Amino acid sequence: MDRVAFWWFRAQAELALHKHKATAFQDHINDVMEAVHGTDFVRVRPAGNVGDRKCDGYLQSTGTVFQVYAPTVVKLATWVNKIDEDFTGAKAQWATMRAWTFVHNQHDGLPADVTQALLKLKTDHPDLIIEPWPPTHLLELTADLPEDKLVRVFGHPPREQEMRVLDRSDSVGDVAS
C-alpha cells in the first residue's frame, strides 16, 4: 500500500469514529469487526418485540457479546443504567457469553461513575472478561487490515502515483491573476 493510501485510510478511520453516532456508529463497528474477523463475527439486529436481546454483535470464537453505545449527548445516569441493564440482560439471554465488551465513542475517556460501574461488573463476575473499548481500540483494529478489507470498509483511496500526475498548471495561473 502506498503512503497516500495508508494515510487516507487512517484519516477515514479516525473520521468515522468522530462522525458516527448511535446506530451509524454501531453499523461502522460491525463493518470493522466483519473485516477483522470475517464470519466469526455475527451482526445482531433487533427483531420484533424481543429486540436484540442486549447484544449488538457476537464473536463466536470467544463467546463475546458486544454492546455498542454512542450517544450524541452524554447523560451520566443514562450511561450507568444502560451498562447495568444491558449487561444483566445479556448475561440472562446469552448462555454462551464468556466475555462482554462495552464499545463506546467517548474520545476523551469515560466518566468516573461509568468506569466504576464497569469495574464493579468485573469484580462481581470474575468468570467473565468484561472490558470497555474506546475509539482508540477500534482505530487499532483497522491498522493491520489488508488493503482489500480497508477498501470494503472505507472505499477506494487516492494513489500516490495519481497525485503526482495531477496537472496543477491552471491553478498556479489563477493565483497570479
pLDDT digits (tens, 9 = 90+) for 93-109: 999 999 999 999 999 99
Residues of the chain with pLDDT under 70: 162-177
- Tally helices (H) and strands (E) across the chain: 8, 5
Listed residue (34, 99, 96, 89) closest to 66, CA to CA: 99
* Residue 134, pLDDT score: 95
Phi and psi for 78 in degrees, rounded to 5? -65, -40
**pLDDT for residue 162:** 67
Place of cell 469484580: 123
How distant, in Å, are the alpha carbons of 58, 144, 157 from that of 94?
10, 30, 39
pTM of the model: 0.85
| Cα–Cα separations (whole angstroms), residue 46 to 23, 33, 56, 128, 142 | 12, 18, 9, 24, 26
Q: What is the pLDDT of residue 174?
A: 55
What does the pLDDT read at residue 156? 80
Report the pLDDT value the prediction gives residue 18, as an integer from 0 to 100: 87
The Cα–Cα gap between 92 and 38 comes to: 27
Residues 6+ apart with CB under 8 A from 1: 9, 147
| Residues in a beta bridge with 43 | 57
Residue 128 corresponds to which cell in the numbers above? 467473565
